[in-house]
Chains A and B, each alone.
Chain A
Amino acid sequence: MSWLEWLVALLAVAGSLFVLLGSVALVKLPDFYTRLHGPTKATTLGLGALVLASMVYFNFVKGELNVQQLLIALFLFITAPITAHMLVKAALHLKLKTSAQTSGKQNADL
Chain B
Amino acid sequence: MKSLKKWWPTPIRSLFLFLVWLLLNNSVEFFHLFFGVVLAWLIPQLIHKFRLVQPGMKSPGTALRYGLMVLWDIVVANMQVVRLVVGPNKRLRPAFIKVPLDLKDNLSITFLASTVSLTPGTVSAEVSPLNAGGDEPRYLLVHVLDLADEAELIQQIKERYEAPLKEIF
Contacts and interface: CB of A to CB of B under 8 A. Distances in A.
A41 B95 contact: no
A89 B125 contact: yes
Provide the main secondary structure of the chain A interface.
Answer: helix
Interface string B94-111: 111110000000000000
B117 A108 contact: no
Contacts of A108: 96, 125-126, 141, 143
Interface in A21-44: 21, 24-25, 28-31, 33-34, 36-38, 40-42, 44
Interface in A62-79: 66-68, 70-71, 77-78
A30 B125 contact: no
A2 interface: no
Contact of A107 (B93, B94, B119, B141): B141
A108 B94 CA distance: 13
A102 B93 CA distance: 6
B141 A42 contact: no
The number of chain B residues touching the other chain, given as a range, is 35 or more
Contact of B125 (A80, A92, A102): A92
Contacts of B126: 88-89, 92, 108
Interface in B18-54: 20, 23-24, 26
A24 B85 CA distance: 8
Counting chain B CB atoms within 10 Å of each CB, the highest count among A67, A71, A88, A99 belongs to A88
A42 B119 CA distance: 10
Interface of B: 20, 23-24, 26, 74-75, 77-78, 81-82, 85-86, 89-90, 92-98, 113-115, 117-119, 121, 123-126, 141, 143, 145, 147, 150
Interface of A: 18, 21, 24-25, 28-31, 33-34, 36-38, 40-42, 44-45, 48, 66-68, 70-71, 77-78, 80-82, 84-85, 88-89, 92, 98-99, 101-105, 107-108, 110
Given A24-B86, A44-B74, A71-B20, 15 more contacts: A25-B85, A34-B92, A37-B123, A40-B123, A48-B74, A66-B26, A81-B114, A81-B115, A82-B114, A85-B114, A85-B124, A102-B95, A103-B94, A104-B150, A110-B96
